[in-house]
């Protein structure tokens, strides 16, 4: 009943949303919008300009729910935009628990951008018709930054690359210390728009041979004493020695990693490759950090990457030590649901299950700021073939490309006359194979990941104050007992935030012209009201540094003289404030 009332109220408040009265329109059970107001093709990848254009269309359609602000500029002066999804009629975004979602910090990991757009689109399209979406949107805010690295994205779209290149930002860096920056990256030698592999035929003196069933596939020849040698050598990515230093492709675009730029457990480049000269060195990372620091209401963070199907949480490095137990329970509950919502994704701890990361983004947001945060590695290539009928490895990839993409993802080996290597062959998979799904699986990836974000966001804390119980002690002195509870999985303050004194403490206050607060504190035993942690100073304003925990009920008792109209208020950085007024 209460929920229904709330929803009704929200619908009335959100006047701009025409409530879908028409039950005939569309098929709501299919998951996405029944009758979308903004059509976006979800089977495509979009360049930088188009990602913003889609979001701008959403802003134009839902101006009361979505707004845009420019928080900074990239190295190449592209706008860094945060889109705020918030229903102003239910309060300012800064007063609500907020969810931060971003994508594409690695330039080549593009689908995070579409993931952010999908999330915004899904929430907006379903606002007012789907009860849970409506409730979530009304009680929280979303800060959506589709691209942490718009330059890298743009470069990946517009220039020849492979699936792994353009990870960096584009600020020139002299990676090989020869006094020149970015002077020798891979080259699209044959001008076909792809950076693929080089191989050379060297009969009897090579390390590789061609696969017997599929000569497109290179196999390493095992070392053996019979002296069997391969006929081929592999020569790396397409490229020449641009700067004449005797090396090929040794100093390519950028050469740093903006997901190693964050202040928690940050180490410089010689310890953590790509970290830069000091934390938040690049303008993209710095403006994001500033925005997040200016929004202490952010309670949940996800950062979309690709690939490999991983729901990652910290610690990024072993030296951090384990996360506090109570926080791990929250992480586990969300992460384990994620594994079920995202087939072939695994919930993992970064340093232990993947590799060590110093200065990672989600490490900063949790270890530095106490926000429950995940890195989501979108796209598990097992999704191409969910059982073992198509074998894994190169054979499987070629088979999939041949039969489901009509060979569109592979550049067949062809001859090229290389200035150093002479007659060689160039060929291999294109940049859009391997780390992003084929078109017909993109929508599935976007939807499942958006649902995981929503699952995470629904756990954000919500605090309420139960009906106070007033008892007479005589002579106008009374006890007031109040239960403050958090109905959600996520505590108002993570255990880490409490431990490391991050953010502001929660406050539970009582106010009334007719009362004098004689004492107040938190009850420590639900059956014995005399067991109470009294706060000596200013008992009308109780400081609750440990917050209101996961599904916790906090019992407060005040002893007051007098009566009349009284207001009890709970203030919390990461939950909407709650208040209750009553008279006695």
Partner 1 sequence: MLIPTPMFGVALATLVSATSAPLGDVESLSHARLSEALAAVASEHPDVASLHRVGVSREGRAIEALRLTGTEDPSNHPALLLVANLEGPRVFESGVVLDHARRLANAYESDESVRALLDTTVVWFVPRANPDAAEGRFASPSIERWASSIDVDNDRDGRRGEDGPADVNGDGVVTTMRVLDPEGEWMEDPTDARVLIQADRVKGERGKWRLYPESRDLDGDETFGEDAPRDAQVDRNFASGWEEHVARAGTFPTDEPEARALCEFVMAQKNLALVVVYDGHDNLVEKPKSVADDAAPVKRVPPYGVLESDAELLEEIGREYREQTKNEAKGDGEDAGTFARWCYDHRGLVTLSAVLWNLPDEAPAADEDADAAEGDDGAVTEEAAADEAAPAEEEDDEVSESDAKPSDDAKHLLWIDGAGESWRFVDWTPFDHPELGSVEIGGFAPFARSEPPQDAWTKIADAHFDWFQGLGELLPRIELVECEREKLGTGVWKVTATLTNDAYLPLLSRSMQRTRTTRPAKVSLVLPDGATLLSGNTQELVRDLAGSGGRAEFEWLVHGPDGMELGVSVDSDHAGRAFRKAEVSQ
Q: Which of 34, 305, 456, 557 binds Zn ion (CB under 5 A)?
A: 305
Q: Is 441 in the site for partner 1 (CB under 8 A)?
A: no
Q: Whole-angstrom Cα distance, residue 225 to residue 76?
A: 55
Q: Which CB sits closer to partner 1, 25 or 319?
A: 319
**Contact region for Zn ion (CB under 5 A) — 13-21, 53-61, 106-114, 338-346?**
106-114
318 binds partner 1 (CB under 8 A): yes
By CB under 8 A, residue 516 contacts partner 1: no
* Contact set for partner 1, span 40-99 (CB under 8 A): none
Choose among Zn ion, partner 1, none what residue 293 binds, the Cβ cut-off being 5 to 8 Å by kind: partner 1
| 472 lines the binding site for partner 1 (CB under 8 A) | no
Among the listed ranges 131-139, 207-215, 272-280, 560-568, the one in contact with partner 1 (CB under 8 A) is 272-280
As a whole number of angstroms, the distance between CA 103 and CA 525 comes to 46
Tell me which of 502, 518, 519, 540 binds partner 1, using CB under 8 A: 502
Residue 405 near partner 1 by CB under 8 A: no
Distance CA(330)–CA(335), nearest Å, equals: 9
Return d(Cα 543, Cα 448) in angstroms, integer: 40
Residue 106 near Zn ion by CB under 5 A: yes
Partner touching 204 among partner 1, Zn ion, none, CB below 5 to 8 Å by kind: none
Sheet order of strands, 578-583 included: 541-544, 506-511, 565-571, 578-583
User: Could you tell me the two tokens for 335?
Assistant: 């992460």
Return phi, psi of residue 233, to 5°: -125, 150
179 near partner 1, rule: CB under 8 A = yes
Q: Which is nearer to partner 1, 432 or 573 (CB)?
A: 573
Partner interacting with residue 305 (select from Zn ion, partner 1, none; CB below 5-8 Å by kind):
Zn ion
With beta carbons less than 8 A apart as the criterion, state whether 54 and 122 touch.
no
Nearer to Zn ion (CB atom), residue 109 or residue 327: 109
Q: Which stretch binds partner 1 (CB under 8 A): 36-44, 188-196, 499-507, 556-564?
A: 499-507
The whole-angstrom separation of Cα 357 and Cα 316 is: 5
Nearer to partner 1, 157 or 358 (CB): 358
Q: Of 111-119, 132-140, 151-159, 170-178, which segment contacts partner 1 by CB under 8 A? A: 170-178
Q: How many CB atoms lie within 10 A of CB 404?
A: 16
Nearest-10 Cα torsion for 454, 456, 457, 462: 130
Please identify, among the stretches 78-86, 98-106, 215-223, 450-458, the one whose residues bind Zn ion according to the rule CB under 5 A.
98-106
Least distance from C-beta 270 to partner 1, angstroms?
5
Q: Is 151 in the site for Zn ion (CB under 5 A)?
A: no
Query: For Zn ion, which is the closer residue by CB, 378 or 433?
Result: 378
**Which of 360/428 has CB closer to Zn ion?**
360
Q: Which stretch binds Zn ion (CB under 5 A): 100-108, 277-285, 435-443, 453-461?
A: 100-108
Q: Annotate each residue in 108-137 with x if it binds Zn ion (CB under 5 A) or - if it does not, as one string.
A: -x----------------------------
Assess contact for 521 and 541: CB atoms under 8 A. no
Give me the least distance between CB of 529 and Zn ion, in Å please: 54
Cβ proximity to partner 1, 230 vs 368, nearer residue: 368
266-280 burial, b at 16+ Cβ within 10 Å, e below that, comes to beebeebebbbeebb
CB of 255 to Zn ion, least distance (A): 16
Q: Are 284 and 194 in contact (CB under 8 A)?
A: no
The alpha-carbon radius of gyration of the chain (Å, integer) is 28
3-state secondary structure 333-376: HHHHHHHHHCCCCEEEEHHHHHCCCCCCHHHHHHHHCCCEEEEE
Choose the binding region for partner 1 from 136-144, 152-160, 176-184, 463-471 (rule: CB under 8 A): 176-184
Distance (Å) of CA 164 to CA 193, 253, 262, 406, 528: 15, 12, 22, 23, 63
The answer to whether 544 contacts Zn ion (rule: CB under 5 A) is no
Name the residue nearer to Zn ion (CB basis): 305 or 544: 305
**Interface size with Zn ion, residues (CB under 5 A):** 3
Compute how many residues bind partner 1; rule: CB under 8 A. Answer: 42
- The pattern of x and - marking residues 230 through 269 that bind partner 1 according to CB under 8 A reads --------------xxx----------------xxxxxxx
Beta pairing, strands 208-210 & 141-145: unpaired
Between CA 192 and CA 198 the distance in angstroms is: 14
Backbone angles phi, psi at 512, to 5 degrees: -175, 135
Instruction: Please say whether the dihedral angle defined by the alpha carbons of residues 392, 395, 399 and 401, taken in this order, is positive or negative.
Output: positive
Q: CB under 8 A: which stretch of 69-77, 375-383, 500-508, 518-526 binds partner 1?
A: 500-508
> Which residues, at least 6 apart from 245, have a Cβ–Cβ distance to it below 8 Å?
176, 178, 184
Asked whether the bond before 12 is cis by omega within 30 degrees of 0, the reply is no
Residues making contact with partner 1 (CB under 8 A): 174, 177-179, 244-246, 263-271, 277-280, 289, 293, 317-319, 356, 358, 367-368, 500-502, 504-505, 507, 536-538, 541, 543, 545, 571
């Amino acid at each position: 009943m209460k929920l229904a009332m709330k929803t009704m109220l929200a619908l009335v408040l959100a006047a701009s949303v025409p409530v879908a009265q028409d039950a005939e329109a569309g098929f709501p059970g299919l998951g996405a919008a029944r009758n979308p107001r903004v059509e976006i093709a979800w089977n495509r990848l979009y360049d930088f300009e188009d990602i913003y254009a889609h979001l701008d269309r959403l802003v134009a359609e839902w101006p009361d729910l979505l707004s845009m602000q420019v928080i900074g500029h990239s190295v190449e002066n592209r706008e860094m935009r945060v889109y705020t999804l918030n229903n102003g009629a239910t309060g300012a975004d800064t007063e609500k628990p907020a969810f931060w979602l971003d994508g594409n910090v690695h330039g080549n990991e593009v689908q995070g951008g579409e993931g952010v757009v999908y999330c915004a689109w899904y929430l907006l399209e379903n606002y007012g018709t789907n009860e849970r979406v409506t409730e979530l949107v009304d009680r929280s805010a979303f800060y959506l930054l589709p691209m942490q690295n718009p330059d890298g994205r743009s470069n990946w779209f517009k220039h020849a690359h492979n699936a792994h290149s353009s990870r960096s930002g584009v600020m020139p860096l002299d990676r090989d210390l020869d006094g020149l920056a970015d002077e020798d990256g891979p080259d699209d030698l044959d001008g076909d728009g792809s950076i693929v592999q080089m191989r050379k035929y060297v009969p009897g003196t090579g390390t590789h041979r061609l696969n017997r069933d599929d000569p497109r596939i290179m196999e390493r020849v095992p070392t053996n004493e019979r002296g069997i040698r391969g006929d081929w050598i592999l020569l790396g990515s397409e490229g020449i020695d641009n700067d004449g230093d005797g090396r090929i492709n040794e100093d390519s675009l950028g050469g740093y990693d903006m997901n190693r730029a964050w202040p928690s457990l940050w180490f410089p480049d010689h310890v953590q490759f790509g970290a830069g000269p000091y934390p938040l060195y690049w303008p993209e990372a710095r403006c994001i950090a500033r925005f997040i620091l200016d929004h202490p209401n952010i309670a949940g963070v996800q950062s979309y990457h690709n690939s490999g199907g991983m729901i990652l949480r910290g610690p990024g490095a072993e030296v951090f030590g384990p996360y506090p137990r109570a926080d791990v329970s929250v992480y586990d509950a969300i992460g384990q649901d994620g594994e079920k919502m995202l087939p072939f994704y695994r919930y993992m701890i970064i340093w232990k299950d993947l590799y060590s990361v110093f200065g990672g983004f989600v490490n900063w947001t949790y270890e530095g700021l106490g926000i429950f945060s995940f890195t989501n590695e979108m796209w598990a290539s097992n999704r191409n073939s969910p059982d073992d009928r198509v074998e894994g490895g190169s054979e499987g990839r070629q088979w999939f490309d041949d039969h489901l993409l009509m060979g569109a993802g592979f550049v067949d080996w062809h001859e090229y006359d290389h200035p150093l290597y002479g007659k060689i062959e160039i060929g291999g998979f294109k940049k859009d194979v391997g780390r992003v799904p084929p078109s017909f699986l993109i929508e599935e990836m976007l939807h499942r990941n958006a649902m995981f974000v929503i699952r995470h966001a629904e756990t954000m804390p919500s605090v309420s104050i139960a009906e106070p119980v007033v008892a007479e002690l005589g002579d106008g002195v009374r006890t007031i007992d109040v239960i403050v509870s958090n109905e959600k999985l996520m505590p108002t303050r993570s255990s880490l935030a409490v431990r490391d004194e991050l953010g502001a403490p929660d406050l539970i206050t009582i106010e009334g012209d007719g009362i004098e607060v004689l004492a107040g504190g938190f009850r420590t035993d639900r059956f014995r009201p005399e067991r109470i942690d009294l706060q000596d100073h200013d008992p009308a304003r109780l400081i609750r540094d440990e917050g209101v925990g996961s599904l916790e009920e906090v019992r407060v008792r005040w002893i007051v003289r007098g009566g009349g109209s009284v207001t009890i208020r709970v203030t919390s950085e990461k939950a909407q404030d709650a208040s209750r007024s009553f008279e006695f």
